[in-house]
Amino acid sequence: MLPRSAQLRGLIALGGWLCVSSVSNASDWPQWRGPTRDGRWMDTGLLETFPKDGPKVVWKKPLNPGYSGPAIAGGKVYVCDRIAGAVENDKPQPKGGIPGKERVLCLDFKTGEKVWEHVYDCLYERVSFPSGPRTTPVVDGNRVYTLGAMGDIFCLDATTGKPVWTLNLRKEFSTKAPVWGFAAHLLADKERLYTLVGGPDSAVVALDKATGKTVWKALTSQEVGYSPPVLVEAGGVTQLVVWLSDEVAGLNPKTGEVYWKEKHPAVGMKQMRPAVTITTPCVHDGVVYVSSAYDGALAIKLASDKPTASVLWRAEKNYPKTPEKLPTLMSTLLVKDGYLYGIGAEDGDVICAKADSGETVWTNLGLFGGKKALFGSAFWVEAEGRQYCFTDQGDLVVLDLNPKGYKELGRAHVIDPSQGARGRKVVWAHPGCSDKCMVVRNDKEIVCVSLAKE
């Protein structure tokens, strides 16, 4: 059972893993979790094991603090960080807030040299874990969309970095920043940009990509979640799937009409406050999977003939007890060959469970060296049938996951963990993958390593 002292009231939600309307080439990684927003990397000819000294470092550049993972498109790397205003995660914050600036940085993918930067003032007010911006930029055609911790959305020219339009979610929708700041990654699709906001009838908002004007807003949630929205084809229509503080819902992406809603946790079960909805909804074979440390997993079956849904299975007990089905924290579930894989919140153990029931098949502590890791997390990247798992310790671990057990093919340390969290040093930023290279960052530097076979 997770101890009461470990109620995550200082954890930045990273969110964990559908589509950007235009990308520069097949190898680009233009948004959170890649081109199809599911952690799949289409490159081939990648290393399965590593040299003794690890993969070759292509370039390494200094970077300021933040949790924003890199996006890669059109030969450029886009990432966000924070200039000045640094306060350690577990230290008291000034009553008047933490002055400082947020930055959108564009680097040359081949060399790491700075192409442009866009810097703006940003006072952090009552943001737990105030290191910097949380979300990964979205590159869509010649536009880059970013969301800062205090709700600043920028649409920037991808070539020059000049603003096309900007708005602040708190001011535009008269809402407050979430406890851990705005952390649900933006989603761009066709004419619209989707974001989680909060406030009455504006938990989910669609903006016009060209102007930033509100297209529609929908739903009310006690707190806005940190789990980013995804798009899925089901029931003969496209659906926008969102996971809010106490429910999962499917909406019409054009109008905001609610197609279906399912409570999570279930009616009558205890609700953790603030709600800890972090992982990205995982959609596979017509089933939506979400999972949390306090409420466990929920599987929702999407109807094939109409836009409705029903519960396939769920964890039957929750906070303050440990859910018996996939109690994960920040790592989005991975589905493969009829099985789910997650990382347990309490110990950092890899969990294998049956996708059709949530029943645990096996657990293993190997990802963190056989030791328990409180709130241990990692990011799955799937390529060539293997999982390239980037852990919060800065290790890149190549796995062949299957229902028979945990199988490690290779391991290399690619960047040092440098952010304090619950007595551990961690790195909480999703990697970007392109052209047989992986780009990772911590709060001091950004590093590009080659995973190409010689």
Burial of 147 (0-12, 13-18, 19+ CB in 10 A): buried
pTM for this predicted structure:
0.92
Quote the mean pLDDT of the chain. 91
- CA-nearest of 393, 298, 399 to 350 is 399
**For residue 332, how many C-alpha atoms fall within 13 Å in the half-sphere facing its CB?**
32
Strand partners, 104: 80, 118
Q: Which residues contact 285 (CB under 8 A, 6 or more apart)?
A: none
Instruction: Please answer whether residues 448 and 60 qualify as being in contact, where contact means their C-beta atoms are separated by less than 8 angstroms.
Output: yes
Per-residue model confidence as pLDDT tens digits over 230-289: 999 999 999 999 999 899 999 999 999 999 999 998 888 888 888 889 999 999 999 999
CA atoms of 302 and 283, how far apart (whole Å): 10
Torsion from C-alpha of 163, 165, 170, 173, nearest 10 degrees: -170
Question: What is the predicted pLDDT for the residue at 86?
Answer: 63
**Chain segment 13-72, per-residue pLDDT in tens:** 333 333 333 334 668 999 999 999 999 999 999 999 999 999 999 999 999 999 999 999
Q: How far is Cα 105 from Cα 426, in angstroms, rounded to an integer?
A: 22
Per-residue pLDDT of the chain (454 residues; tens, 9 = 90+): 444 334 433 333 333 333 333 334 668 999 999 999 999 999 999 999 999 999 999 999 999 999 999 999 999 999 999 998 666 666 677 788 899 999 999 999 999 999 999 999 999 998 888 999 999 999 999 999 999 999 999 999 999 999 999 999 999 999 999 999 999 999 999 999 999 999 889 999 999 999 999 999 999 998 888 899 999 999 999 999 999 989 999 999 999 999 999 999 888 888 888 888 999 999 999 999 999 999 999 999 999 999 999 999 999 888 887 888 999 988 999 999 999 999 999 999 999 999 999 999 999 999 999 999 888 999 999 999 999 999 999 999 999 999 999 999 999 999 999 887 777 899 999 999 999 999 999 999 999 999 999 7
Tell me if the bond preceding 320 is cis, omega within 30° of 0.
Answer: yes
Cβ–Cβ under 8 Å, residues 253 and 240? yes
Peptide bond into 417 cis (omega under 30): no
Burial code of 206-243, b = ≥16 C-beta within 10 A, e = fewer?
A: bbebeebeebbbbbebebbbbbbbbbbebbeebbbbbb
Largest CA distance in the chain: 57
Q: Which of 40, 105, 32 is nearest to 69 (CA)?
A: 32
